[in-house]
Amino acid sequence: MSEAKIDPAVIRPLDLSEKGRRGKEIISLDRRLFMKFTAFTGVNDQQAAIAAIEKTGLAAAAYADVNDPYGLGVMVASEDPAQFVTTLRETFNEQPFAHFTYKSEFDMLGRSYSIGYEPDLEDTLLHRPLSKLTDPRNVWVVWYPLQRSKGFYVLPEERQKSILGEHGTLAKRYGAGGHATDIRLACHGLDKNDNDFVVGLLGPKLHPLSAVVQEMRRTEQTSQFLDRLGPFFIGKVVWQSRHA
């Protein structure tokens, strides 16, 4: 069988940068924030765990697990994902974490992304997620992965935008009153269960975060185009790194 000839003009260098728009100008930025969530149980020395995380110098937050009296969740952010298999791994393999029990079912790894219309990509991709993660007002969190049905991706682009618009409106309503904010991360090819996104709901009270999920159940995306949602990690902040 002869190999098909490929027109060299068709093969162009890939541009994998994130895109935005400032007026009529398309802007781009090849930077993004990676965020890694890890959970443990059997945490009998929470303060020692916090001290070990703080010592890494990484942007992070630690949460007491509402559904596990011995549980602790850790979300760490870095532009360099190698930090997760060097600095963070070393910390989790040393005391006190070496004595804790790792809960693999809550593993989450994602990256910040742009939709294409954002006028400030550094804020969207870097500053805003970090600010929300480390904002002392956001004392309650719900972190979870989700998997869209494959049928969503073959819908016409305008149809996709219409479906996603419901969630955008929901986010604005809860954000306007300071009830809840969110961190949305893409995890295509980064998740062992083939999930598409990692979502964090954050706020000063727990009830609004539950209410967001309740309202999402009625949206077309959640009711018609999601194959899986969760598991959910529900936590209360016990420590946050400083973020200017």
Q: Looking at residue 176, what is its pLDDT?
A: 86
Q: Looking at residue 112, what is its pLDDT?
A: 98
pLDDT-derived band at 30 (thresholds 50, 70, 90) equals: very high
Per-residue pLDDT for 13 more than 90? Answer: no
Q: Looking at residue 193, what is its pLDDT?
A: 93
Question: Average pLDDT of the chain?
Answer: 90
pLDDT tens for 197-231 read: 999 999 999 999 999 999 887 776 666 776 888 89
Domain 34-240 has CATH 3.30.70.1030: yes
Between 235 and 149, residue with greater pLDDT: 235
> SS3 sequence, the chain?
CCCCCCCCCCCCCCCCCEEEEECCEEEEECCCCEEEEEEEECCCCHHHHHHHHHHCCCEEEEEEECCCCCCEEEEEEECCHHHHHCHHHHHHCCCCHHHCEECHHHCEEEECCCCCCCCCHHHHHHHHHHHHHHCCCCCEEEEEEEEECHHHHHCCHHHHHHHHHHHHHHHHHHHHCCCCEEEEEECCCCCCCCCCEEEEEEECCHHHHHHHHHHHCCCHHHHHCEEEECCCEEEEEEEECCCC
Q: Taking the domains of the chain in order of start, what are their residue ranges?
A: 34-240
pLDDT-derived band at 165 (thresholds 50, 70, 90) equals: low
Q: Across residues 156-167, what is the average pLDDT?
A: 71
Between 150 and 97, residue with greater pLDDT: 97
Per-residue pLDDT for 3 more than 90? Answer: no
Q: Looking at residue 177, what is its pLDDT?
A: 86
Least confident residue range of 4-8, 32-36, 57-61: 4-8
Q: Across residues 28-45, what is the average pLDDT?
A: 97
Per-residue pLDDT for 1 more than 60? Answer: no
